[in-house]
Amino acid sequence: SSSSSSFTGDPSTSAATPASGFFVSLFSRLAILFSLLTLNPLSKLAAEDFAGDTPSWSRAFVGFSGSYSFPSSSAQARLRVHENVKRYARNYAYLFILFFACALYQMPIALVGLISCLAIWDFFKYFNDRWQLDQYPITRQCLLRLAQW
């Protein structure tokens, strides 16, 4: 009788089952998603992020199906969220305004106020470019304070 048997009968030495690999992958992905709950992506935004050109809603914002992948770590997920919010800040602002306006549809005075604010904002944005108010920061600041009043 030989004592060098290839089977030891110890379950800890057997290969991992596919089910345990699935749960490890699932819990790893859940940990990555839960790590995003502690993130405030708006904290690193600056006024310049809203001043740039607005990317296209179709290809650049939604993207192609091949452009989606799950991040490999929570650090990569955080980096992706910050980059996405910075790149598409104006699109997110437009979505927020749209949802806010939909919430105000039963309050016509508040809705008129929102539309008036947006009209004033576009008016100053248009004349900021036309009159090159970036060269006159005091005048620009006075006009903004007047609009806020």
pLDDT digits (tens, 9 = 90+) for 20-46: 777 777 777 787 777 777 777 777 777
135 vs 117: CA distance, rounded Å? 24
Q: Binning pLDDT at 50, 70 and 90, where does residue 1 land?
A: very low
Contact between 111 and 104 (Cβ < 8 Å) = yes
Domain ranges of the chain: 18-103, 106-149
Contact between 83 and 89 (Cβ < 8 Å) = no
pLDDT digits (tens, 9 = 90+) for 115-132: 888 888 888 778 777 878
